[in-house]
Amino acid sequence: MRFMSQKEEQSKRFSTLSDLEIKPLYTAQDLKNFNPKTELADPGEFPYTRGIHKTMYRGKRWTIRLFSGFGTAEETNQRYHILLERGQHGLSVAFDMPTLMGIDSDDSRSLGEVGKCGVAIDTLADMERLFQGIPLDQVTTSMTINGPAIVLLAMYFVVAQKQGVSLDKVGGTIQNDILKEYIAQKEWIYPPRPSMRIIQDMIVYCTQHAPKWNTISISGYHIREAGSTAAQELAFTLADGLGYVQAGIEAGLDVDQFAPRLSFFFNAHSDFFEEIAKYRAARRMWARFMRDRFHAKNPKSWLMRFHTQTAGCSLTAQQPYNNIVRTAIQALSGVLGGTQSLHTNSMDETLSLPTELSATIALRTQQIIAEETGVVNTPDPFGGSYFVESLTNELERQALDMIQKINEMGGIIPAIEQNYPQKEIARASYHYQKQLETGEKVIVGMNKYIQKEEGLPIEILYIDDKAQKNQIASLKKIKEKRDEKKVQAALQRLRKAAEGKDNLVPPIMEAVSLYATLGEVSDTMKEIFGTYTERSVI
């Protein structure tokens, strides 16, 4: 194992997570061709490098969200009420693996996974229990679901209607970013092109009936968690976004009808200044793409609104209390970068789902940043910094080069089919792992400053098999009570819509309102659209 000498370290340093070379000093010479009027402008002005709002957090603080979901809907509902009482602003739903894959809890493939990494949702009854006592016109909800997103959204809308809330008053976000699943997270059901048809139907339906709902959260987070660099996260996320805008236009919508409801979701990793620069570059790039490439006229279509989550892959099982520090620094970069919504990870998430204590610490982290540090007092306090502006420019340059390659391939779907993003991320991830093994990159407590630990260092949340038994028993009762003939007739109408060109949202809402299961609805569409198998990246 070879470590650089002090002299070598002084002469050549790289960004912590990528190979952006960092110079010892940045001066005005690094920005000699930089035009502040066109590259910066003021906060709230095109191209929004310095933020999308003129007053930023002096006008409105970011939305505080914590990713919550475990066991049954009843258990998660209790956690939601606790977090809302303690100052959380919006809800963020974590689903278990069977739900993420469109599989029911009583399916043999669900064995051992029900309720383990999130909440189990099989039918409308679960969704009703999940939001018991929570008026859906008074909170915004973010749902992290992709392959079967249309089914979960339909359930959420039906719950709102049963509460007496009209859909035009329902606000929130569904992740629904299927392209990044093929690139990074690998939780898909259908092939890319039928999946894009489903997303088109969701965009059209929400544009017409639920105008406050964000139809896609275009997610770089999982791309970064898979091992990408900051520049790759930026490039592939925006390339996905361009693909969705094109899909909306091809569905017959004017770009200004739906673009203002698109949102983004970025990772806040550990290289503090690089992350701030990434968010600034992202806003500037998106504004120019929307105005100049898609000719959007409404300034709201130019705005990149984004949610940020601290980096789960940066957390360590070793010395888990260190994760509180990592999370705080990462969250601060998101705030200084101008996020509209923020999720702070809990210190125990490499070991289990968060305990109530660790979730509260994660919540308090955001509240301390907001209330005690003074960083909310002025927008983009690093604006004009030689270092930050240079990093912003370099990240934009690298990302534009990758987007150009994707354009030359015919767009993001052909690029995915040719494994371009997957190969680039695999290379970056392998390179980073080698750097960890040689000690070139340091993770405190893991490959440096190691100490012996015996047993689990903290108390963790344990989800036993009782959750699965209870969930399956509940599902059985629902199936026994529902009108089976009406359910099958509704599924047949969904099948016909999938075979034709009718919008899929109304027949899915009808089916779930009759307590058709997630698996039944997903499988009905699978009969028409087929399934997807990834080709090897190698």
Q: Is residue 161 part of a domain?
A: no
* 188 in a structural domain: yes
pLDDT above 80 (res 8): no
Looking at the domain assignment, is residue 520 inside a domain?
A: no
Residues near 118 by Cβ (< 8 Å), separated by ≥ 6?
Answer: 69, 70, 93, 94, 95, 96, 97, 99, 100, 353
Instruction: Work out how many domains the chain is built from and give that number.
Output: 1
Does a structural domain hold residue 470? no
Closest by CA to 256, choosing from 282, 223, 291, 283, is 291
- The one-letter code for the residue type at 310 is T
Span 358-385, pLDDT tens digits: 999 999 999 999 999 999 999 999 999 9
What pLDDT score does 5 carry?
45
Give the closest residue to 120 by CA, choosing from 494, 473, 486: 473
3-state secondary structure at position 442:
coil
Token pair 């399934």 is at which residue? 531
* pLDDT beyond 80 at 262: yes
Average pLDDT over residues 478-485: 97
| 277 assigned to some structural domain | yes
pLDDT at 232: 98
| Domain of 412, in residue numbers | 8-65+175-438
Facing residues of 342 across strands? 64, 308
- Flag the least confident range among 3-12, 55-64, 206-215, 217-226: 3-12
Please give the pLDDT value at position 12: 52
Q: How far is CA 317 from CA 94, 338, 463, in A?
A: 21, 30, 18
* pLDDT of 435 higher than 70: yes
Mean pLDDT for all residues in the chain: 93
CB 317 within 8 A of CB 456: no
In the DSSP assignment, the letter for residue 380 is -
Task: Report yes or no on 285 lying in a domain.
Answer: yes
* Residue 374, domain CATH: 3.20.20.240
Q: Does residue 417 form part of some domain?
A: yes
Residue 514 in any domain: the answer is no
CA neighbours within 13 Å on the CB side: how many for 139? 25
Phi, psi of 133 (to 5 degrees): 75, 10
What pLDDT does 454 receive?
Answer: 74
